[in-house]
Chain A
């Protein structure tokens, strides 16, 4: 039922035979066909060198495809940034400005968009409240822990009210406890705000917990190896992590990942 409804609305992002050959002649990505629909939480996972970060950078227009096409809401990248076409990117590192306080860091994308201060301030407050950092708004990034800095980075993404959220292993450098906590928060936010999210990770447990669909990639050359739907209804709580259903899904995904790993070595 939902599938049919989704098929009627245009894809948030669509790749048609988009590939990437680097300047040194290395093939980063074989031609990729992919379509992400509104409200999906898609995770990219695979062995190192499978091009998952490259694929995400293509979708953020940080790099251009060598051949093939990309469409955002059925159009070119020029219209990204307009109402309803807002993309936010969260990096592996928090990438905050160390010389600016937390609130100024969160306000940065609104400054770029020329949002006047009286309009920007409540939005910054709301974004900080969503990541539970309201009382740290006047702190400098260096005064915060790694997990808190990452939450500032997420607040900076949320403040633009994004229609598409791209995240490149955002919690990879954090300890498991902090990572689980941030995963919970992210899932709650994404459900509340009906975000469309594309998320790169190394952790198969994180992939199962967050995704509505996992895309397993393989290397030599970087390509999509398999798709793995996670048809667990939302909202998902911490009890999902310890459920038999979760273990079963993780086992299934693990099997496909092992196959992808073997295929990466053989290059087939």
Chain B
């Protein structure tokens, strides 16, 4: 079998998506499924259009928290990884706590953080950061450690300074791992933001998409619920694609992860 071309890979999922939507619409109409149980795609689009200003503001709130948490996770996670690789003892002492942070479900920690931190937006950002930071720490640490031993010998033999070794060997070696960490962390930041908002249940001007879903659920406005859900999924896809684009831009010339298209 030959490799599918880029055109096929773009067109095929779109065709499948249209087919699913058509069957969905047809089935709901044929069996007269009430929209408070399972709305048709057209009803969801209508809800999206009718509630656009509210949904757009909610999307803005959720995205702001996601991106802030992602940024903090990347900066803080990278710094922690750099501290870890300086010293085996530090890494051995603190890494278990990074794991502890990771394995504790955010839903369980979120109420505590929300109680402790008065500012709602800040508490949500902290929750999302806690979820997103681990892949950054873990991947960057592994990346900074995975240096080709031959190249490391070569640098030592040429009396390279610590800074030269860091800038010209360790950081480029770590880059593919770091970027894979970013890809996971971007998705987790969104999940963290949505979950924390569910727990906090904050409304008003700063309400995010999760709050819209909760509200729509209470009012049995299922099309609105789907519309909010759709926006969350779309945000996740856009974040993921942005990370893939960053990966390809930085590694396109030399790393296998960015060369899938090539034969």
Contacts and interface: CB of A to CB of B under 8 A. Distances in A.
The answer to whether A and B come from one shared complex is: yes
Among B148, B151, B155, B158, the most chain A Cβ lie within 10 Å of the Cβ of B158
Nearest to B151: A95
A99 interface: yes
A62 B158 CA distance: 10
B253 A95 contact: no
A109 B164 CA distance: 12
B36 interface: no
A224 interface: no
A141 B150 CA distance: 15
Nearest to B150: A95
A87 B157 CA distance: 9
Interface string B44-72: 00000000000000000000000000000
B201 interface: no
Contact of B154 (A92, A95, A98): A95
Given A97-B168, A97-B169, A112-B164, A62 B254 contact: no
A97 B151 contact: yes
Nearest to B251: A99
Interface in A24-78: 60-62
Interface string A79-103: 0010000010101110101110000
B254 A91 contact: no
A136 interface: no
Nearest to B154: A95
Among B156, B168, B172, B175, the most chain A Cβ lie within 10 Å of the Cβ of B168
A214 B262 CA distance: 46
B interface SS class: helix
A191 interface: no
A109 B150 CA distance: 15
Nearest to B259: A142
A93 B158 CA distance: 17
Interface in B144-203: 148, 150-151, 153-160, 164, 168-169, 172, 175
B255 interface: yes
Interface string B126-155: 000000000000000000000010110111
A112 B159 contact: yes
A91 B164 contact: no
Given A91-B150, A93-B150, A112-B164, A98 B254 contact: yes
B173 to A, nearest CB: 8
Nearest to B148: A95
Contact of B153 (A91, A109, A140): A91
Nearest to B156: A62
Nearest to A160: B158
A99 B158 contact: no
Among B150, B157, B158, B254, the most chain A Cβ lie within 10 Å of the Cβ of B157
A112 B255 contact: no
Contact of A60 (B148, B150, B157, B255): B157
27 contacts: A60-B157, A61-B157, A62-B153, A62-B156, A62-B157, A81-B159, A87-B157, A89-B154, A89-B157, A91-B150, A91-B154, A95-B148, A95-B151, A95-B153, A97-B168, A97-B169, A98-B255, A99-B172, A99-B175, A99-B251, A108-B168, A112-B155, A112-B159, A112-B160, A140-B253, A141-B254, A142-B254
- 10 A-B pairs with the lowest CB-CB distances in the bound complex, closest first: A95-B150, A112-B158, A99-B172, A98-B254, A99-B254, A140-B254, A91-B150, A95-B151, A93-B150, A140-B253
Interface of B: 148, 150-151, 153-160, 164, 168-169, 172, 175, 251, 253-255
